[in-house]
Amino acid sequence: MNLSAAKKALEAGQLVAIPTETVYGLAANALNEEAVLEIFRVKNRPAFDPLIVHVASWEQARSLTQGVAPEVLAQAERLAKAHWPGPLTLLLQKSPEIPDLVTSGLPRVALRVPAHPLTLELLQMLDFPLAAPSANPFGYISPTRTEHVQRQLGDRIAGILDGGACRVGVESTILGFEQGRPVIYRKGGLSVEVIETLIGPVEVRAQSSSKPATPGMLKSHYAPRTPLVLGDLRELAQKYSGQRAGVLAFRQMLPGLPESRQRLLSPKGDLAEAAQRLFAAMHELDAMGLDVILAELLPEEGLGRAVNDRLRRASV
């Protein structure tokens, strides 16, 4: 699907999969409630899980907010000017123009400018923003390539805007404000450390929720169909020695198991490379008909925090 076809489909209230630097999104006109409702239907997503709204600029984001405190607005603008387009979502008081369905009835809307040239061009061609959660069945592994979307949702949507493999590979960091203080609700493609260099210390909410205040907070999420178990890989290999196991490792293969059933996220120990490869590796292992996937956590720093968050919520 090309840009003009994507524009036409979205204007007609249809769903289009769009590329971003994080993962592929399932997009619809954020101001059209029927179109937004179709996102929930196609993904089988619970209506209490709010959506991220994608916009072309900080100015468009501001037009969709209302009543934001001046001190919050100043911090949000500082972050947006530095990291938009990019893997940062800002949670701000919404204007009445945003349907309650998008925010699950909550007073704040999640906004971001994606860093992908095709989708940015598409957003600039449209006169409405796009609601776009990840383009996968709810709770399953997020898609980072067009074939992931095609396999899971291809026959239920108008088309896919092919932008190649996603550069970042994990969802955006979600940041909001409580009593004027910045709070990270979801760790993602922009690290906590980078954010703190710009606005000072932030609170990081580690817990998930069965009734989330922001997108992507549900405890069980990003999960393959194959059970995924976290821990020390050597110990896990012994424990599951009688089963057909796959391995999702950070830097080194696990001796004693076929290399064809193992995926390394970054042999050189690069956390950004590991994040970029995470979901594709999970898709590949999940397609092998394994009994179990054995996985290990990454160093709890930088983008390792976001990868670990996804692994914990994908695990049994």
- pLDDT tens digits for 57-116? 999 999 999 999 999 999 999 999 999 999 999 999 999 999 998 998 899 999 999 999
- pLDDT tens digits for 125-150? 999 999 999 999 888 888 999 999 99
Residue 212: pLDDT band by 50, 70, 90 thresholds?
Answer: low
The pLDDT of residue 210: 43
The pLDDT of residue 209: 47
Residue type, 214: T
Q: In terms of residues, how long is the chain?
A: 316
The pLDDT of residue 218: 56
- pLDDT tens digits for 268-298? 999 989 988 998 899 999 999 999 999 999 9
- The mean per-residue pLDDT over the stretch 234-241 comes to 94
Instruction: Kindly list the structural domains of the chain, giving each domain's residue range(s) and its CATH number in brackets, ordered by start.
Output: 3-204 (3.90.870.10), 228-314 (3.40.50.11030)
What is the C-alpha to C-alpha distance for residues 168 and 186, in angstroms, rounded to an integer? 15
How far CA 168 is from CA of 40, 161, 165, 223, in Å, comes to 25, 18, 9, 19
- The mean per-residue pLDDT over the stretch 205-216 comes to 58
The pLDDT of residue 316: 75
Q: Assess whether pLDDT exceeds 60 at residue 219.
A: no
- The mean per-residue pLDDT over the stretch 43-67 comes to 91
Buried b (16+ CB within 10 A) or exposed e, 292-313: bbbbbebeeebbbbbbbbbbbb
**Which structure tokens are listed for 164?**
């190649």
Strand bridging mode 130-131 / 52-54: antiparallel
Average pLDDT, the chain: 91
Tell me which residue of 303, 245, 315, 283 sits closest to 141, measured CA to CA: 283
Q: 3-class DSSP state for residue 247?
A: strand
Kindly give the residue spans of alpha helices, DSSP state H, lying in the chain: 3-11, 33-43, 58-63, 70-83, 100-103, 117-125, 146-153, 192-199, 233-239, 271-286, 304-314
Q: Assess whether pLDDT exceeds 70 at residue 221.
A: no
The pLDDT of residue 21: 95
The pLDDT of residue 199: 93
